[in-house]
Structure 1
Amino acid sequence: MASYHIRQFQERDRKRVLELFSRGMEEHAPATFCHLLKLPRTLLLLLGMPLAIVLVSGSWLLAVVCIVFLLLFLWFLAGQPWKNYVSMCLHTDMADITKSYLSLSGSGFWVAESGAQVVGTVAARPVKDPPLGRKQLELFCLSVSSQHRGQGIAKALVRTVLQFARDQGYSDVVLATGLLQQGAVSLYYSMGFQKTATVRIEQLKGGWRLTPQELTLAHV
């Protein structure tokens, strides 16, 4: 028997939901950091600047200190897109979940509860401008507490959205996710989602790509 159950969001869940959402986004920083380290510009910076310091000052200690500071800077940089995304959401749809999802026809916000604690979330809203002849529902905010993964909660939350879409007469469920979110990408593929597009690349000045290509997936 499942040790969790899924229900509709209630206002008393707000604090825990925002905590899960924020932590889930922050978990992508290490993968973004590794992505940054593999970029040619980053490798050139990590090798070139310390070497220049050694040639100018003759100090290997300064070169090591330089590398440490560069790595710390890159770690800070890697976390910024996720912090900015969380901040944006907290000032838009997540600022009032009931108004954004539960008061809007054809939308929903669900939580997974285990032991009287919210351990997972998922949301869905209608796509504003779907392709001609399609009625599409977009999946958002899929997140599961790190302590409760591996129990099928994420799949159960996605199935909840898929069933809701069928009940509401939607033709497709769509979503966007980054290639760095490998766990999420694998989950969606395993549940029958198919890639429909590879879109948007965000860049910083100087050419650092903080997030690689973003996938758009659909479940018909």
Structure 2
Amino acid sequence: MAPYHIRKYQESDCKTVVALFCLGMEEHIPATFRHMLKLPRTLLLLLGVPLTLLLATGSWFLTIMSTLILLVFLRLLANYPWKIIEINCLRTELADISKSYSVPGSCYWVAESGGQVVGTVSALPVGDPPLGKKQLQLLHLVVAVEHRGQGIAKALVRTLLQFARVEGYNEVIIETTIMQDRAQVLYQAMGFQETGRSFETIIWRILAIPKIHLLHRLPSAQEKGL
């Protein structure tokens, strides 16, 4: 197990950071597909359409082909929302990471092991926080598959939380999904609490994948003195 250290993002990291982000998005697609196949409405579709065709035409060929076409369609549908997120991020904040994270109170970190970037996490201030709150949003927590289980993700989150304390933030927020179950366990173990769920778009509602909102409250200077 090679040692790792966490440092701030540099321009030379760009290609690897973007590649890690894209791999992280792609990783959720198979789990989303499996999740869809377990939904009652999906099972009804996969059974109802082929059976209707069989009864209407008597053709087993059409029945089998319709099942295959439906499976291909569902696989593409599972791919769609993650690709949309990927494209949007690559066109906005990840198009120029240094510029996007030059905002005061923001930062982008990488975990390096053996001279290679193997993990990332970033933080941006929330533009319109609740009254009296100063919130930081955790984004892009990714660790390369072959380097998981080494405590890198936890170390990256700790780094971000320490940054938030130093910068005077009251709260750190995260938006994740039920597909990111390992991340949820990590966040909750580190003091994040679920504050609600919502569906960002109609596609997420169709897929029955809610966005999970998590929050970590940071003690104020007064509370620390108590």
Residues of 1 paired with 2:10 and 2:57: CA distance?
A: 62
| Deviations 1:46-92, CA, capped at 9 Å, x for gaps | 11111112112212232122212211111111011001100000011
Residues of 1 paired with 2:196 and 2:63: CA distance?
A: 43
Residues of 2 paired with 1:148 and 1:46: CA distance?
A: 38
Using the TM superposition, name which of 111-120 and 62-71 deviates more: 62-71
Give the total of aligned pairs.
217
Using the TM superposition, name which of 32-41 and 160-169 deviates more: 32-41
- 1:156/1:179 Cα in 2 relative to 1: closer, same or farther (>3 Å)? same
Q: Is the 8 A contact 1:6 1:112 kept in 2?
A: yes
Match of 1:62 in 2: 62
Residues of 2 paired with 1:24 and 1:197: CA distance?
A: 24
Match of 1:14 in 2: 14
Q: Is the 8 A contact 1:201 1:209 kept in 2?
A: no
Shift of 1:115: 0.6
Residue 213 (1) aligns with residue 204 (2): no
Q: Is the 8 A contact 2:111 2:118 kept in 1?
A: yes
- 1:64/1:208 Cα in 2 relative to 1: closer, same or farther (>3 Å)? farther
Amino acid at match of 1:216: H
Amino acid at match of 2:141: L
Residues of 2 paired with 1:210 and 1:75: CA distance?
A: 12
Residues of 2 paired with 1:68 and 1:209: CA distance?
A: 20
Shift of 1:9: 0.2
1:100-111 counterparts in 2 under 5 A? 100-101=100-101, 103-111=102-110
| Deviations 1:76-134, CA, capped at 9 Å, x for gaps | 11011001100000011111100111x11110000001111100000001111111111
1:89-128 counterparts in 2 under 5 A? 89-101=89-101, 103-128=102-127
Taking structure 2 as the reference length, what is the TM-score of the superposition?
0.91
Q: Is the 8 A contact 2:2 2:114 kept in 1?
A: no
Residues of 2 paired with 1:85 and 1:219: CA distance?
A: 24
Taking structure 1 as the reference length, what is the TM-score of the superposition?
0.94
Q: Is the 8 A contact 1:201 1:212 kept in 2?
A: no
Match of 1:44 in 2: 44
Using the TM superposition, name which of 32-41 and 181-190 deviates more: 32-41
The SS at the match of 1:28 is helix
